[in-house]
Amino acid sequence: MKKRTAFIIAIFFLFFKTGLCQTNHLLLDKIKQDIQLLMPGLTNWQNVSTSVMLTQGTGMRTREDSFALVTFPDKNRIYFRENTQLNFDSVDYTNRNMLITFSRGVAILDISREGDQRWDVTIDGVLARIKMDTAVVIIKNLHNSLIVSVLEGSARVFTRENKEIDITEGFGIEISQDLFTSGPFPLPPPPVPEFPDDNSIITPGLTLKWSKIEGAILYRLEIALDEDFVFIVSHKEVKENVFNIGKLPEGQYLWRVCGINRNNLEGAFFDHNQFILQKSYTSLLIKTDDDELPAGEAVMEEDAVGGVVLSALIVVSFILLFLI
């Protein structure tokens, strides 16, 4: 009887460690190339190339051609572009509060409401502090300016001159180094992909084309291997509404484009299109969402892994329980 009781306690402790404890951490979920982390209490940055849990006080930065996706326990997300650095100063999962120090680069925060619960996220930038709860916000700290674009929801900006600026959906502001605030200005609308058609089979050297946007002076184009656009193979800011794909390797790709206006405000991407690149027009099927990514880039969702592990533990525990 004592052995059975001890065994049951051990099993529940194992469930707790593999399940509940992991829900109280941010997850560095997807990585393209090396990401650097600065762990609390350390002074040297460490290279990371695989998924890892992030604790309070961790610093994180991407390099020139690296991208990353950090997910919350409730599947909210922070997307890191190239040359981006921030620090997770405070993360309170009980009260759903988070404080982030944003040093440089571009981060996209996608924070949604879960029932009646919502996160209260504060981003402390060099020139201002941004508060948001349920919103999709692009934050840029580039060229000595802080740029905030609200794609969904709303955000409130507190400048270093104690000004409060409310930004609603579809608008953004720019704060210069001398604390001059421009805006709010409307964001550029997403363009419309024109060529090639979605799910097309194309050959090398083809030119992608999308609709022109009134007021846009630049377009950001991204070509990736995954729908989260972490495994990006090409990213450019171009003046015209066309882009030649050059000599990409054969394979399946996704692409999307957004507009950037004179105020450096970036609008939403259009929903991505996809194409298959090959040397000749032979029959080739488009992969479904359930198919794997190209070799070396496959990623299994954390929930799927956790579900398989816990299911196996439950079966094994009941078998052993009756054998004791």
* pLDDT (tens place) for every residue of the chain, 324 residues total: 555 544 444 444 433 333 434 445 788 989 998 899 999 989 999 999 888 888 889 999 999 889 999 988 777 889 999 999 999 998 887 778 889 999 999 999 998 766 566 778 899 887 889 998 888 999 998 777 899 999 999 999 998 888 899 999 999 999 887 778 888 999 999 999 999 999 999 988 889 999 999 999 999 999 999 999 999 999 999 999 999 998 889 999 999 999 999 988 999 999 999 999 987 655 344 444 444 433 333 233 334 344 444 455 454 454 544 555
**What is the separation of C-alpha 111 from the centre of its chain, rounded to a whole number of angstroms?**
11
What digits encode the pLDDT tens for the residues 216-270? 999 999 999 999 999 999 999 999 999 999 888 999 999 999 999 998 899 999 9
Q: What is the pLDDT of residue 21?
A: 41
Distance CA 216, CA 119 (A): 33
> Which helix (H) or strand (E) is 304 found in, with range?
helix 302-323
Architecture of domain 193-277: Sandwich (2.60)
- E strands, 187-267, are 193-195, 200-202, 207-210, 216-224, 232-238, 242-244, 251-261
Query: So what's the pLDDT on residue 272?
Result: 95
d(Cα 249, Cα 279) in Å, to the nearest integer?
A: 9
* Distance (Å) of CA 266 to CA 8, 80, 174, 193: 55, 15, 11, 17
* 21-185: CATH number: 2.60.120.1440
Residue indicated by tokens 């440089």: 104
What is the rounded distance in angstroms from the CA atom of residue 233 to the CA atom of residue 226?
10
Cα 274 to Cα 223: distance, rounded to the nearest angstrom:
9
Q: DSSP letter for 8, please.
A: H
Contact 158, 132 (CB under 8 A): no
Tokens of 109: 């925060």
Q: Give the DSSP per-residue string, 111-145.
A: E--BTTB--EEEEE-SSEEEEESSEEEEEEEETTE
Structure tokens at 159: 């400048």
How far apart, in whole angstroms, are the C-alpha atoms of residue 194 and residue 217? 19
User: HSE (CB half, 13 Å, CA atoms) of 267?
Assistant: 26
Per-domain boundaries in the chain: 21-185, 193-277
Helices vs. strands in the chain: H and E counts, helices first? 2, 24
